[in-house]
């Protein structure tokens, strides 16, 4: 039986640059750095972010971009500050997808290795509640 999420692993061409995104961009804490003696396939760092274990390993970046992504929850009141921080760090912010009122706001951006991240203000419960109202409610 699945007990929960164990960890997320991202392959990055530049471990220090990815670490900056995790620590400065998201507020994660570095909890492990292999240095030049990795136990796994390559140099790696582990981060703790809101109770999540995030691993980063050096390797070739993703060849192409897609809509596959990881979304982190943020407070709506922090939305504009996060947009400014992500833009100041030089990441490409992509336009949000069309949304109906009540499903939250999102910031989508690609990192330097073509990973798509989303910072989202909504919750599953709010989205399901809104969708249950149907399309007519949006008009």
Q: Which residues are catalytic?
A: 44
Distance CA 90, CA 55 (A): 22
Backbone angles phi, psi at 125, to 5 degrees: -60, -45
Dihedral sign of CA atoms 48, 50, 52, 57 in order: negative
* Closest C-alpha among 18, 72, 6, 68 to residue 42: 18
Tell me the CA end-to-end span of the chain in Å, nearest whole number: 43
């Amino acid at each position: 039986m699945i007990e929960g999420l164990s960890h997320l692993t991202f392959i990055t061409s530049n471990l220090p640059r990815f670490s900056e995104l995790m620590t400065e961009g998201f507020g994660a804490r570095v909890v492990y750095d292999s240095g030049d003696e990795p136990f796994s396939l390559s140099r790696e760092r582990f981060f703790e972010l809101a109770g999540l274990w995030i691993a980063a390993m050096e390797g070739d970046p993703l060849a192409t971009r897609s809509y596959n992504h990881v979304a982190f929850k943020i407070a709506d009141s922090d939305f504009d500050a996060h947009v400014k921080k992500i833009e100041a760090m030089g990441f490409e912010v992509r336009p949000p997808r069309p949304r109906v009122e009540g499903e939250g706001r999102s910031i989508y951006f690609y990192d330097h290795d073509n990973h798509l991240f989303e910072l989202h203000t909504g919750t599953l419960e709010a989205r399901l509640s809104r969708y249950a109202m149907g399309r007519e409610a949006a008009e």
